[in-house]
Structure 1
Amino acid sequence: MDQIQIGFLIYPGVIQLDVMGAYQVLAFPPNTDVHLIGKTLTPIVSNEGVTLTPTVTLETCPPLDVICVPGGGMGQVEAMKDPEILDFLKQQSVTAQYVTGICTGSMILAAAGLLQGYKATCHWAFRDQLAALGVDVVPKRVVIDRNRITGAGVTSGIDFGLTLLGLLCGEPVAQMTQLMMEYTPEPPFDAGTPETAGEEVVAALLQAGKPLVNAFWTQTQASAAHLR
C-alpha cells in the first residue's frame, strides 16, 4: 500500500495547536507521511512562540493526498496575500484527494479561490470574513463538502483529524487513534462557544482580539476584490 502523503502549510505566526492537534492524529498510522511545508527550511515561530521546523519547502513538497492549511495570528495576513503560497495551494489542490483547513486557515484557502461554491467552517469570530470571501459558512465543528474538509477553531483540529483519518484509513483506525490519545474531553467550563460562554466573556475576548479581527477584515476585503 502506498504511503498517504499529508502536508501542513506553516508560516510565521501560525497557531501551533491548529497544526499539532491534527498532526498528532494523522501521524499515528504507519501508512501516513506527514510533512510541514514552509517557504524555506528555516524554522518558524508560531503565534504562541513555539518553534516549528519545516520538513519540505513549497518547491520540494511531493504531490499530496491531503493539503491542510492551519490558521494564524497576524502572520496569516501575509500568507493570505503571498502569491507563492496561494499558487502552491492551487497547484496541490488539482491532484489532492482532500483540500482542508483548520480554524482561519479556511480564509487562506478562500483567498486562493479554493472554497468558493463549497460549504466550510472556521473559528466563530471570523465567520463573517469567510462569508465575505464567497464561502457558504456552516457553524459546525467539522464540515465536509465533497473533497473539502474544514474544522472550526483551534481544538477542532483534533475532531477534524479524526474525521479525516476515518475517511483515509477507515473508522477502526480512527477509533484506535482516539483511544491512543485518550481523547474524551471534559472541559472544566462550559465556555467553548459564544452561545455558552455568555455575553460578557464574548465581549471581553472580542475586545482583546480587535486588532487581529480588524487586520483580517482589511485583508479579507483585499482578497475579495482580487477574486472578483
Structure 2
Amino acid sequence: MAETLNIVFVLFPNLTQLDFTGPLQVLSRLPGSKVYLAAKSMDAIPTDAVLTLNPTCMFSDCPPADVLCVPGGFGVDDAILDEELMGFVKREGARAKYVTSVCTGSYILGAEGLLNGKRATTHWAYHEALTDVGAIPVKERVVRDGNIFTGGGVTAGIDFAFTLAAEIAGDEFAKALQLGLEYDPAPPFDCGSPGKSTNEALDAMNQRYRPRFEEFRGKLALAMKTQ
C-alpha cells in the first residue's frame, strides 16, 4: 500500500483558479495522495473567475505537508502581507519534501526566503522581480532547484504538476496519467509566450499587467522588509 502523501494547497482571496485547479487535477491522482486546501478560515475563497473554493482545513490545524503548493494571481499582492498566511508557508516550507508554486505564487515562497539563491520561474510579466526575492530567474515553464519546483504562468501549472508527478511516482505513471487526462495541447494560436506573441497581443497584455506589476513590486518590497 502506498504511503500517504499530504498535498497542501495554500488558498487566499483572488487567486487564479487555474493555477490551483490544473495542478489539483493532476496531483490528486498520485498514489496515496491526500489533498488539503488550507486557508485562514473555513470561509469560501473567491477566485479570479467566479468559482469559489471551500477550504478543507485552516492554517492552524493543517497536517504537515509533504508537498506544499502555492498558486498565484493578483491576490498575491495582499497575501505576501498576511502574517498568518506567510507564517504558515514559512513553517511548511521548512519541512515539506517538495516546495512548489505556480505563476506569481513564487513570490509568496520568495518573500519568506525560500527562493534565495534558487533557480526559479514565474509569470512572464512578473519575471524581472524574481531577483527582488534573491532568486535566479530562469525563463522556462517549469524549473527545479533541489526540492523547489516553480511553474510559469497559469497553464504552466499543468506542466509543473506532471513534472512533479514523474518525480514522485515515476515517468510511466506520469505518462499514463497524462493519457488518462488527455493532456495533448494543440492551441489554435502559437502565441502563448512573449517571444511568440504578435505585437498587438503583447501590447495589450503589457497594458493590463504593467500598472499592476509596479503596485505589486511596492508591496513586495514592504513584505521583504518584514522578513
Please confirm whether the aligned pair reaches a TM-score higher than 0.5, indicating the same fold.
yes
Amino acid at match of 2:45: I
Q: Report whether the alignment pairs 1:86 with 2:86.
A: yes
Q: Which residue of 2 aligns with 1:10?
A: 11
Residue 50 of structure 1 corresponds to 51
1:99 equivalent to 2:99? Answer yes
CA offsets per residue over residues 180-207 of structure 1, 9 Å max, x none?
A: 1101100000110001013221111110
Contact 1:21 1:155 survives alignment (8 Å) = yes
Output the amino acid matched with 2:210: K
Provide the identity percentage.
41
Quick one: distance in 2 between partners of 1:6 and 1:25?
11
Question: Could you tell me which residue of structure 1 aligns to residue 27 of structure 2?
Answer: 26
Alpha-carbon deviation of 1:93?
A: 1.6
Distance 1:199 1:11 in 2: 34
1:146 maps to which residue?
A: 146
Q: Which residue of 1 aligns with 2:207?
A: 207
Q: Give the distance between the partners of 2:30 and 2:67, measured in 1 at CA.
A: 15
Aligned length: 226
Q: Offset of 1:168 from its aligned partner? A: 1.1
Aligned residue for 1:168?
168
Distance 2:215 2:8 in 1: 27
> Secondary structure at 1:6's aligned position in 2?
strand
Deviation at 1:170, TM superposition (A): 1.2
TM-score w.r.t. the length of structure 2 is 0.96
**Kept after mapping to 1: 8 A contact 2:31/2:169:** no
Q: What is the letter of the counterpart of residue 25 of structure 1?
A: V
Structure 2: segments with no counterpart, 5+ residues: none
SS of equivalent to 2:195: helix
Unaligned runs of 5+ in 1: none
TM-score when normalising by structure 1: 0.95
SS at match of 2:20: helix
Shift of 1:45: 0.6
Q: Deviation per CA, 1:52-108: give whole Å up to 9, x if none.
A: 1111110111011010100011x2111011111111111112221011110000011
Which secondary structure does the structure 2 equivalent of 1:150 belong to? strand
